Amino acid sequence: MGTFVTLKLQTKDKHYFTPAFKILQDVTDSLSSYDTNSTIYKLNTFKKVKADFYAYDALSLAKEYYRVTDGYFDVAIGSITKDLYHFGEDAQVPTQEALSNSRIALSGLSLSREELTIEEGIKIDLGGIGKGYGVDRVAEYLKHHNVLNATIALSGDIRCLGVCTIEINNPFSTAPLAVLKSTKEEMAFSTSGNYNRYVRSSKHNHLINPKTKTSQQNFISITLIGSVPNSDLDAYATAVSVMPKERAYTFLASQNLAYIILEQGGREVVSENIELFVNYTKKE
């Protein structure tokens, strides 16, 4: 998935390490848009492919997130992120004409448990859900085996079984933005930001608004916290990042989750309900 993975288990549960990493490899083998043998890569290349469980499941979730976010979460963004910017490869800044002519149409994706198809001009990019989805699959496996204490982290997508403490990265300092200690037996975290993955400058970052075909400029980072699946948080963090500011906060208020947002300009916004989910310590 193009990221570092951290899995923390108690000594008595260490025999689950290898199966857990095998699950993550299987998810990558299905959802990667870089691996030429993956299901999604083949879908993008050949436009029709035999479905596997992970690809079908993740794409089904993606369609639901598209609906819930009113189209701000759109995995058909690959026509820009993969074909034009080439994020993660030989990145470049596309022309305005190329952006205008790119096709983003999730309606052009058809899926069944047997087969996946996309129309010409469409490319799928599951980068906005893949890490959260991988975390969920590992958490599901560990809970099935009655593992009560574990931390699963794929970059900014983290799930804690049992109480844990995590730090939120501050892009302007080596000190963390905040320290969070979960107050429930299971808690999920997802951070999305425009400061790590971009071309030339954060003006051309990987968080593309599918409605305007431009990189978002309102938020430096968004951390969402909740008891919902990590896939939800991952998708919502991506969607909120590219929404107009007022709409973003309205959407967040409609969800049962907390947030820490660093707006462009450095203003930090913390949801009033954060203590329902974590003990929050702001770092000065």
Per residue in 48-101, pLDDT tens? 999 999 999 999 999 999 999 999 999 999 998 888 887 766 777 778 898 889
Whether the CB-CB separation of 31 and 54 falls below 8 Å is answered with yes
pLDDT by residue (tens digit) across 116-164? 999 999 999 999 999 999 999 999 999 999 999 999 999 899 999 999 9
Mean pLDDT over 200-220 rounds to: 78
The answer to whether the CB of 116 falls within 8 A of the CB of 43 is: yes
pLDDT value at residue 3: 79
The gap from C-alpha 101 to its chain's centroid, in whole angstroms, comes to 26
Tell me if 58 sits within 8 A of 129, measured CB to CB: yes
Identity of residue 131: K
245: β partners: none
Local confidence band at 1 (pLDDT 50, 70, 90 cut-offs): low
Residue with tokens 């689950």: 16
Per the prediction, the chain carries an average pLDDT of 91
Q: Determine the Cα–Cα distance for residues 151 and 15; give it in Å rounded to an integer.
A: 15
- Residue 38, pLDDT > 60, answer yes
What is the pLDDT, as a whole number, of residue 238?
94
DSSP 8-state code for residue 256: S
Q: What value does the mean pLDDT take over residues 249-254?
A: 97
Q: What per-residue confidence (pLDDT) applies to 218?
A: 86
Q: What average pLDDT does range 228-255 have in this prediction?
A: 96
Cβ atoms of 69 and 233 closer than 8 Å: no
Q: What share of the chain in percent tops pLDDT 70?
A: 94
Q: Which residues share a beta bridge with 77? A: 123
Q: Please, which pLDDT band fits residue 14 given cuts at 50, 70 and 90?
A: very high
The pLDDT of residue 195 is 61
pLDDT at residue number 175: 87
Mean pLDDT over 213-228 rounds to 90
Is the model's pTM score more than 0.75?
Answer: yes
Q: Which domains does the chain have, with CATH numbers?
A: 132-282 (3.10.520.10)
Determine the pLDDT at residue 282. Answer: 72
User: Using the 8-state DSSP alphabet, how is residue 93 labeled?
Assistant: P
